[in-house]
Amino acid sequence: MSQQKPTPPILLGAVALGAAGVLGTYFAAGPERFWANWVLWFVLMFTLGLGSLFIVALEHLVSAKWSVPVRRIPERLATLLLPAIPVGLIALCAVPVLYPGSRPEAAHHPILAGKAFWLSLPFFSARTVFAFVLVVIALAVLVGGSLKQDVSKDPAFNFRARKFAPAFMAIFALVITLVAFDWISGLTPEWYSDIFGVYIFAGAFLSGLAATALSLLYLQGEGRLEGVRQDHLYNLGAFLFAFTVFWSYIGFAQYMLMWYANMPDEVIYYKVRLAGAWRAITFALAALHFILPFFALVTRDAKRDPKRLRRVAILMLSAHVLDMYWLIFPALGGSPRFGWPELSFALFFLGGILLWIRGAMERGEDMPVGDPFLREGLEFRL
């Protein structure tokens, strides 16, 4: 563990400037735009943390050895779930403003009447709190236990984590589905997709992989993680490449099935996103989230090139932001909105996220030194 460096003033300035803009947004831009931005950044924080925790659990589930030296990075990134929880609790105030299914008139809607109890604010809030409790338990078991193992060197943690990993996969499936259907598709409750939860999972996992790769390269630039080799980078690059294709397949499959069936209650979702200025964002999302990273990582050498991997990781995180914007903001109606409210929220939350991750990268050892498989992971060769 390296010595903590002073906090960069630019980050503190961004957070302060963004906070001032966020406070003014509610009154100047209106509550709908304020809460749409708040929900956007809650979903971004939560999916990034949840995707990182999925990486940790996946390693334990399959008993992967190659990833042990880099496991501490997604463990640290997963702690982003902790600040995301209060952000999510505040976001519950957005439900009566943005979510039609929670309003009293939903009881008289021909489609929403049957979903009135599920979409009501009390049950919406109960599901959200339940999901938060589950992820805190998972964090305590998988991340808290790993940090304790640094000191105790107790190999029993590996056994406990492997036993808990299948249970976490069930927790993850439930929580990511609740995020997908409650917080995102709940903005348009007349529309539904059976694979929408899988689509959000793909984006969350990709964002976790991209943040892990970017953090790994940052730590190596600081002279840390000296035992991590290009072979470890290659595997991260291969995962990024594979799940770029997977995200694209799920996104296209969802669109193709609805386009082919041409049912009014399904195509309305894409009709909005393929009209006017939203069409350009749809094509930009396809380029940034699939075409560019696919061709950037298609060769074997590209997957182990630190410079290229850094650019692709930044691109993937940016594409994840655009993806969540594309999913959430059309619910406001009209054209895309990119103005000082969005800039203020970006400065405030992005600055806060970077400050949190920066602090998290100093917690515990850079590698899980108590893990009995660490040596085997450091000796990994392709």
pLDDT digits (tens, 9 = 90+) for 259-273: 888 888 788 889 999
Residue type (1 letter), 255 = Y
pLDDT for res 213: 96
The span from the CA of 224 to the CA of 310, in Å, is: 17
- 118 and 335 Cβ atoms separated by less than 8 Å: no
pLDDT at residue 297 in the model: 96
Per-residue tokens: 301: 């050498």
Structure confidence by residue, pLDDT tens digits, 2-39: 556 677 888 888 899 999 999 998 888 899 999 999 99
* Residue 327 within any structural domain of the chain: yes
CA-based diameter of the chain, in Å?
64
Please tell me which residue, 119 or 49, carries the higher pLDDT value.
Answer: 49
The answer to whether residue 369 sits within a structural domain is no
Q: Give the phi and the psi of residue 111 in degrees, each rounded to 5.
A: -95, -45
**56 compared with 107, residue with greater pLDDT:** 56
* 126-166 per-position pLDDT tens digit: 999 999 999 999 999 999 999 999 999 999 999 999 999 99
Can you tell me the mean pLDDT for 81-105?
A: 92
- DSSP per-residue letters across 13-64: HHHHHHHHHHHHHHHHT-HHHHHHHHHHHHHHHHHHHHHHHHHHHHHHHHT-
Is 69 part of a structural domain of the chain? yes
Over residues 116-130, the pLDDT tens digits come to 788 889 999 999 999
Domain residue limits at 98: 9-364
Q: Rounded CA gap, 277 and 281, in Å?
A: 7
Two tokens at 54? 């999925």
Instruction: Classify burial at 282, counting beta carbons within 10 Å of its beta carbon; exposed 0-12, middle 13-18, buried 19 or more.
Output: middle
Query: In whole numbers, what is the pLDDT of the chain averaged over residues?
Result: 93
Question: For the chain, give me the number of helices (H) and strands (E)?
Answer: 17, 0
Q: What is the pLDDT of residue 381?
A: 87
The predicted-structure confidence for 345-377, as pLDDT tens digits, reads as follows 999 999 999 999 999 999 889 999 999 999 999
Angle between helices 264-273 and 277-286 (to 10 degrees): 90
Using a pLDDT cut of 70, give the percent of the chain over it: 99
Whether 3 is in a domain gets the answer no
Q: What is the rounded distance in angstroms from the CA atom of residue 371 to the CA atom of residue 373? A: 5
Q: Is residue 371 part of a domain?
A: no
* 125 assigned to some structural domain: yes
**Of 263, 234, 240, 219, whose CA–CA distance to 315 is shortest?**
240
168-178 mean pLDDT? 96
Q: What is the pLDDT of residue 4?
A: 60
Q: How far apart are CA 306 and CA 310, in angstroms?
A: 6
Number of domains in the chain: 1
Q: How far apart are CA 91 and CA 89, in angstroms?
A: 5
Per-residue pLDDT at 113 exceeds 90: no
Considering the domain boundaries, does residue 378 fall inside one? no
Q: Does residue 27 sit within a domain?
A: yes
